[in-house]
Structure 1
Amino acid sequence: MGYNQTAVLVAVDCIVFGYDGEQLKLLLIKRAIEPEKDRWSLMGGFIGDDENLDGAAKRILLQLTGLHDVYLEQLHAYGTPDRDPIERTVSVAYFALIDINKYSKQLNDQYHAEWFKLKEVPDLIFDHPKMVKAAMDKIRYQAALHPILFELLPKKFTIPQLQALYEQVYDSPIDNRNFIRKITASGLLIKQAEKDKSNSRRGAFYFKLDRQKHRSQFQSFLNFIPKSIK
């Protein structure tokens, strides 16, 4: 190390989004140490001596939430000199997408993780609000080209659930009839025989994503994005 170089810590922060079939939410914990103790925070920790970045992100997610085998993607590195008031720290942010109902029993109670609706997220420490915004921007971009939002859904889902998810991700209403017409015409969904009758007597048919067909028509989902956002 040169005479003028200072040691820099490397941390990983995980931005965990979940969908419960009705609401898109963000998973947060209360910070256990100073500075900013007991304030709401993303899941984070320092990288170990024998870890790569992906390994550290998976370990931190497992330790703090009990979650594993979830969709996890590296987002961006944050390294402004004043982002941590104690030590110079570079943080590499990841975002995860999960079906809340599938993983609700795995959440680790030790760290009191809580889900917040996106529009009701409390004040977060450091530059974590910037990380959340960047993650949402990346998800919106990715969702127009790839089926990543289906990571938030159960294997079987209804059209209303899918539409509500897209509306919340893009924070914009979608015309119901137009959405149904486009998604039916795409041929990307496989209609199931059974219905979800939890919200009405008539019920709504369940669907599954045809992942093989989607790989060959990967730009089809661009048509579902509200025109005001394209």
Structure 2
Amino acid sequence: MEQFYNDYDRLLVSVDCIVFGFDEGELRVLMGKRKMDPGRGQWSLYGGFVGANESVNDAARRVLYALTGLKDLYMKQVGAYGDVDRDPGARVISISYYSMINVADYDQAQQQEHDVAWVNIEQLPEMYSDHRKMVLKARRMMQEKISHEPIGFNLLPELFTLSQLQQVYEAVNGEEVDKRNFRKRIKEMDFIEKTDQIDKLTSKRGAYLYRFNEKAYKEEPNFKL
């Protein structure tokens, strides 16, 4: 490849991936402690540098797959972080992304291999560089989007109870919702289907299980909670 920009500085570009999960009524973030300098031992997101022959989106998908072993994950770009002194190791510009997964789909072996943990977003520790800012901005984006797009289903198993669905919305938004109004609104949505199966594990009385019908949603794409 012919070089046209030899008179300009070379910068490193990385991606940092924020993986959200939902478990035991809590919104959690997958993170670990850095095993390299600078910042060794500090809580950090999982990331990597962008290769010369890949887009930033492809780099994020590669990093997410390496971390989770899961493909075709929901993924949205959060933003670019480029303060001159954000990384004491070098001049690094980072593009951050957030993703949402069902915790039960995440293999424990993968978690142990990468030595990462699910941390309650309400109890975030201090983190390396600007990683904490990335997480908080990603949550704000989720809060805005979950009110008019069905992204919350990415955090749930295929079959779920209405209580679980309500808990997801509460965990993402950080506040309780009115149960009666929430269920009334949900039952008006044709793309949330009631099945004839009963949850006997998490519900003592036995609650009906529901599923998200993506095809039906595409026919009724506009909704608001």
TM-score by length of 1: 0.90
What does the per-residue CA deviation read over 1:6-29, in whole Å, with 9 as the maximum and x for residues that have no partner?
211000000000113632110001
Deviation digits for residues 146-200 of structure 1, max 9, x if unmatched?
1111111111110000000001111111111111111112233111111112234
Instruction: Report the residue type matching 1:35 in the other structure.
Output: P
Any idea what SS the aligned residue of 1:191 has?
A: strand
Do the aligned partners of 2:68 and 2:106 also contact (CA within 8 Å) in 1?
A: no
Q: Matches of 2:204 and 2:154 in 1, distance apart?
A: 28
Which 5+ residue runs of structure 1 have no aligned equivalent? 225-230
Query: For residue 135 of structure 1, what is the aligned residue in structure 2?
Result: 138
Q: Secondary structure at the match of 2:106?
A: helix
Closer/same/farther in 2, CA of residues 193 and 21 from structure 1, 3 Å limit: farther
* TM-superposition CA deviations, 1:46-74 (whole Å, max 9, x none): 11122111221122222234333321222
- Give the deviation of 1:142 after TM superposition: 1.6
Instruction: Indicate conservation of the 8 Å contact 2:18/2:98, yes or no.
Output: yes
The amino acid of 2:208's aligned partner reads F
Matching residue within 184, 187, 190 for 1:184 = 187
Q: Does 1:120 align with 2:123?
A: yes
Aligned with 2:207 (options 204, 209, 225): 204
Partner of 1:82: 85
The residue number in structure 2 matching 1:111 is 114
Please point out which of 41, 52, 56 is paired with 1:53. 56
1:25 counterpart letter in structure 2: R
Q: Tell me, yes or no, if the aligned pair for 1:65 and 1:106 is still in contact at 8 Å.
A: no
CA distance in 1, matches of 2:191, 2:9: 53
Q: Which moved more, 1:165-174 or 1:185-194?
A: 185-194
Structure 1 residues 218, 179: CA separation in 2 closer, same or farther (over 3 Å shift)? same
Q: TM-score, normalised by structure 2?
A: 0.91
Which SS does the other structure have where 1:157 is aligned?
Answer: coil
Match of 1:27 among 25, 30, 33: 30
Which moved further from structure 2: 75-84 or 196-205? 196-205
Partner of 2:73: 70
SS of equivalent to 1:107: helix
1:95-142, Cα deviation, whole Å (9 max, x unpaired): 110000122346242320110111122211101111111111111122
Instruction: Indicate the SS of the match to 2:16.
Output: strand
Q: Offset at 1:210?
A: 2.3
Structure 2: tracts of 5 or more residues without a match: none
Number of aligned residue pairs: give it. Answer: 221
Closer, same or farther: CA 210–63 of 1 in aligned 2, 3 Å:
closer
**Aligned match of 2:158 in 155, 160, 170?**
155
Contact 2:68–2:107 (8 Å) recurs in 1: no
Cα offset, 1:216, TM superposition? 3.1
Specify the code of the residue in structure 2 equivalent to 1:119.
E
User: Could you list the runs of 4 or more consecutive aligned residues of structure 1 that deviate by over 6 angstroms after TM superposition?
Assistant: none
- Which residue in 2 is equivalent to 1:165? 168
